[in-house]
Amino acid sequence: MVPRLHFFCGLAGAGKSTLARQLAEAPGHLLLSEDQWLASLYGLELNTLADYGRLAPRLRTALSPHLLALLEQGLSLVLDFPLNTKASRAWAKDLVAQSALPHQLHWLDLAQPQCLERLLARNARGEHPFAPTQEQFSALCGYFEAPGADEGFCLLRHQSG
């Protein structure tokens, strides 16, 4: 089987991590979660969106050679990294170009009220390392850029919750 890259975009609470976990159940698939890596590496340093904007690119740069090595070993990668801006998707496009492997960008396109409801419920359960407040959720929504055909991804849009 040819290895494949799976990427995700969508608002917080849209279900990116849930879908990522489901896809990673397939044989030969490895899940990597940006939220878990950031929490483990930067825990107390990661408090604001500005912190995220500074630290997430550092993590992606550090992981890129390792991700490419895993792909060369025949593993499919399920990268639970929120690719919610054109700039963040440029990193993914670079991985696709360097690996020359098939990929899928999963866009979980759910309405803001539904995502917020799901996010607050997830926060209450304490099951995710990233638990933004309602105010942080609103700020994150302001940064979201829907993926476009001009970006060249093999895009799969998920619209139901």
Q: What is the pLDDT of residues 138-156, one digit of tens each?
A: 888 889 999 999 999 999 9
| pLDDT tens-digit map of 73-102 | 999 999 999 999 999 999 999 999 999 999
Instruction: Give the 3-state secondary structure of residue 4.
Output: coil
Q: What is the pTM of this model?
A: 0.91
**Domains of the chain by range and CATH?**
5-158 (3.40.50.300)
Does 118 or 63 have the greater pLDDT score?
63
* Residue appearing with tokens 């054109």: 86
d(CA 76, CA 25): 11
Is pLDDT at 114 greater than 70 in this prediction?
yes
- The size of the chain, in residues, is 161
